Each structure stands twice: as structure tokens, then as C-alpha cells.
Amino acid sequence: MPDFPAGPGPAVYNTAASPARHVRLSPGLYFVATPIGAARDITLRGLDILLSADVIAAEDTRTARKLMDLHGVPLGDRPLIAYHDHNGPAQRPRLLAALGDGKSVAYVSEAGTPLVADPGYQLGRAAIEDGVSVMAAPGPSAALAALTVSGLPSDRFLFAGFPPGPGAAQKRFLEGLKEIDATLVLYESPKRVHRLLDVLDHVLGADRQIALCRELTKRFEEVIRGTITSVQEAIADRVLKGEIVLVIGRGQPVQASAEEIETALRAALKTLRVRDAATEVAEALGLPRRVVYQAALKLGDDG
């Protein structure tokens, strides 16, 4: 849930001077990403689409109105239609009919990017099957924001959404992720995160590196990085509030041979300086940058 207008950005809005511009939208369905906290994370194009679409559909119409009000985007006499998981089958025909009539329909979920642990998939599919254009106005998503600040390798990641609640299904779900050679991104409620960490400790091992990212882009933004054990200790006596993304590092460091490092470095050094090449190769191979930097310097010396 976004906490408009809090967040690190200025909390003053001049709705008289909205940056939104009327644009001629081609017919189709527009998935518009909206802030996950700080209201000013909306994009200018997102605002243009919200101002110009014939129909607005929203997971939560009150949140959508609030966001539009904050940015001086009037709804006017355009329909604002609620579309969420529970009314999807009933509401889809109405939205598809508007799209079939050549209208532009903008869809916003409650926060972040529609379809990312949010409604929109069925609507998008149905629109594509009807031959309607489907477009994205990309922007915030908690998964990518968390990956960005996690300090964990970002070259390959798997977004796994919300795990099932505690129990056998959750354990199976986490065991299925254990061997995946990628950084994992999970959404979890603050009420369940302590228990989830206990299970992760058991399934993945206490030494896995993780980042618990809370309230991103909001006033009380916090990132706790470390092993599963150290994060468990850090939050043991705390009642966490707000919204949480858990980013989980890979199990085993990727074992790269000296030859693999050299080949990757030689390729990178064709276009990058030593420092940047070392950073790129270290990230790609999951190795400490220091080690790869030394190897790059040696390559330079050896020619």
C-alpha cells in the first residue's frame, strides 16, 4: 500500500501545475505502474496516460483517485472501473467491450507494476486474444527496488512472489527454490516474516546471504543485510510493520576456473577499462571483485 505523499521526496504538490499532458493515445490497454511508496515515483508518461485514457480501471479505485488528485489529473466524466481478483470474471467483458470499441483503457493496480503479484494477467491475455494492443507504462516495482538495494548479485534473479503460508506447501515451495542458481526475490507479510526466516534457515542453511527490505521509498525505509542467522537476530525482538521484500542470495558461489575468468576478462577488456571489466566479470561469475581485479591487472602485465 503506498503511503502518499510520504517518502524521501518533497511532500508538497502543486496540483494547479500538473506535469501531465493530454496526449492522443492509440486504442488499447495500458498497464501503468504506480508508486510503491513515494508518490513522486509516478512517471510523466504514466500521468499522461492517466490524463488521456478514455477509461481508467483500477484494482483500488480510491487509491487511484488519490494518486490522480495528488498529481492534478482530473478524472472528469470518464469511467473509473474497479477491476481486481474477485470481480475479474464479471468486469472483464466490460473492459474488453470498451477496448473492442477502439477505446484506450489505462489499468493501475494498488501499487507498483500491475501483474507483479497483482491483477492484470487475465485481462492482458484476454485483450491479446481479442487482437487488442497491450502496452506498458513501466515504473516502480518493489521486486526490482529491493534487488537494486540488496547488495546481492543482480545478473540473474527469480521473482517467486508470495510463498504459501506456513506448513508443508511452504516448505515444498522453498525446497523447490533451493537449487536455483539465481538471486531469489520473495514478497512476504511482516507478520509472517519471522516464521519464514525460521523455515529458510532450515531449508537453505543459516549462512545464506539475504536482504530484508522494508518500506522501500517510504519514510521508514530499512534494509537489513546479512546471513539468515544475523537477520533473524536483528529482528528477533522486533514487531515489523509495513511491507517487506526478501532477497535471497545464491547457495553456492559460482565456481569459475582461472581459464573462465581469463576468457571473460579478455572479452570485457575489449570495451571496458580494467576497473569496470573486473566489476562486470565479478558480478557475472559471482566472484569477489578484488580477486577478479587482481586477475585483470595480471592480464594487463602479461599482455
Chain residues binding ligand SAM by CB under 6 A are 36-37, 109, 111-113, 116-118, 141-143, 187-188, 213-218, 243-245
Least distance CB 143 / ligand SAM (angstroms) = 5
145, HSE (Cβ side, Cα atoms, 13 Å): 26
Instruction: Considering the complex, state which of residue 48 and residue 188 has its C-beta at the smaller distance from ligand SAM.
Output: 188
Residue nearest to ligand SAM (CB): 112
Least distance CB 201 / ligand SAM (angstroms) = 20
Instruction: Considering the complex, state which of residue 152 and residue 244 has its C-beta at the smaller distance from ligand SAM.
Output: 244
Instruction: Considering the complex, state which of residue 48 and residue 215 has its C-beta at the smaller distance from ligand SAM.
Output: 215
Least distance CB 242 / ligand SAM (angstroms) = 7
Q: Which helix (H) or strand (E) holds 50?
A: helix 44-52
Least distance CB 156 / ligand SAM (angstroms) = 19
Instruction: Considering the complex, state which of residue 125 and residue 273 has its C-beta at the smaller distance from ligand SAM.
Output: 125
Q: Which helix (H) or strand (E) holds 121?
A: helix 121-129
List phi, psi (to 5°) of 78. Answer: -80, 145
Three-state DSSP class for residue 259:
helix
Query: Edge-to-edge strands of the sheet including 104-108?
Result: 80-82, 55-58, 104-108, 28-32, 134-137
**How do beta strands 244-248 and 183-188 pair?**
antiparallel
Instruction: Considering the complex, state which of residue 112 and residue 153 has its C-beta at the smaller distance from ligand SAM.
Output: 112
Instruction: Considering the complex, state which of residue 63 and residue 268 has its C-beta at the smaller distance from ligand SAM.
Output: 63
Task: Give the closest residue to 222 by CA, choosing from 206, 199, 238, 209.
Answer: 238
Least distance CB 244 / ligand SAM (angstroms) = 5
Dist. CA 20–CA 201, nearest whole Å: 48
| Peptide linkage before 153 cis (omega within 30 of 0) | no
Least distance CB 1 / ligand SAM (angstroms) = 7
Instruction: Considering the complex, state which of residue 21 and residue 219 has its C-beta at the smaller distance from ligand SAM.
Output: 219
Give, in order, the Cα–Cα distances in Å from 65 to each of 4, 73, 276. 12, 9, 45
Least distance CB 243 / ligand SAM (angstroms) = 3
Alpha-carbon 155 to chain mean position = 15
